[in-house]
A and B are shown apart, each in its own frame.
Chain A
Amino acid sequence: GAGVSQSPSNKVTEKGKDVELRCDPISGHTALYWYRQSLGQGLEFLIYFQGNSAPDKSGLPSDRFSAERTGGSVSTLTIQRTQQEDSAVYLCASSLDLGQGATHGYTFGSGTRLTVV
């Protein structure tokens, strides 16, 4: 596609429920990243995928968070048993590959605003 697409744009869920957030990267981009941005703060790295390599999960805050990327394209971030502190904007980005992302920047989606009530 022309840009990185994320859905839904907004999600309100009850505490304890599971949620799935979707990211559709730019076609042909092999690297895909997930970040979390709490209100008024910077972006916190969560996980990235590069091609067929095992994902780097070092930023995931707890085992309630997981992500997968099917067929090297669409990615889903799943949060199980949501807590109020999970409320944030979840941003997805993609780049041609890791190196291109560093030197030419990542293309970000507009994010999913998650509110846990």
Chain B
Amino acid sequence: LAKTTQPISMDSYEGQEVNITCSHNNIATNDYITWYQQFPSQGPRFIIQGYKTKVTNEVASLFIPADRKSSTLSLPRVSLSDTAVYYCLVATNTNAGKSTFGDGTTLTVKP
């Protein structure tokens, strides 16, 4: 399972775009990159998943460079309700369930 590194915390203000980068230097060919969001007293919630280039859904965008050694989760125009912990996971379809979510990035959105 690929090791990931994320910033421990980030601060932002309402209405700003937030980019959280995850490093995964030893990503393997069959690995996918998945991001989760977790609010206090809740389980994590799936945000977005990608393999390469750019993926966008109604919540976020995921940018993956050609070498796939990092990925950036982009949250457009954040609001106070986006304050949460964000986790980056890198794993194959077979191993994803065994992923250990790292400490994640605590995003605090201020008014």
Nearest B-chain residue to A106, judged by Cβ: B46
Q: Which residues of B contact A104 (CB under 8 A)?
A: 46, 49
Partner of A42, one of B45, B91, B103: B103
- Residues of A in contact with B, size category: 20 to 34
The complex places the Cα of A56 from the Cα of B94 at a distance, in Å, of 12
Nearest B-chain residue to A31, judged by Cβ: B97
With A42-B102, A98-B97 in contact, is A103–B43 under 8 Å at CB? no
Cβ distance B32 to chain A, nearest Cβ, rounded Å: 6
- B71 interfacial contact with A, CB 8 Å: no
A42 touches B43 (CB 8 A): no
With A42-B103, A103-B32, A105-B36 in contact, is A33–B97 under 8 Å at CB? yes
A101 touches B97 (CB 8 A): yes
B34 touches A105 (CB 8 A): yes
Per the 8 Å Cβ criterion, residues 62-117 of A in contact with B are 91, 93, 95, 98-99, 101-111
- B78 interfacial contact with A, CB 8 Å: no
With A31-B97, A41-B103, A105-B34 in contact, is A111–B43 under 8 Å at CB? yes
Chain A positions near chain B (C-beta within 8 angstroms)? 4, 31, 33, 35, 41-45, 48, 50, 56, 58-59, 91, 93, 95, 98-99, 101-111
The complex places the Cα of A98 from the Cα of B45 at a distance, in Å, of 17
Cβ distance A113 to chain B, nearest Cβ, rounded Å: 8
The complex places the Cα of A35 from the Cα of B36 at a distance, in Å, of 15
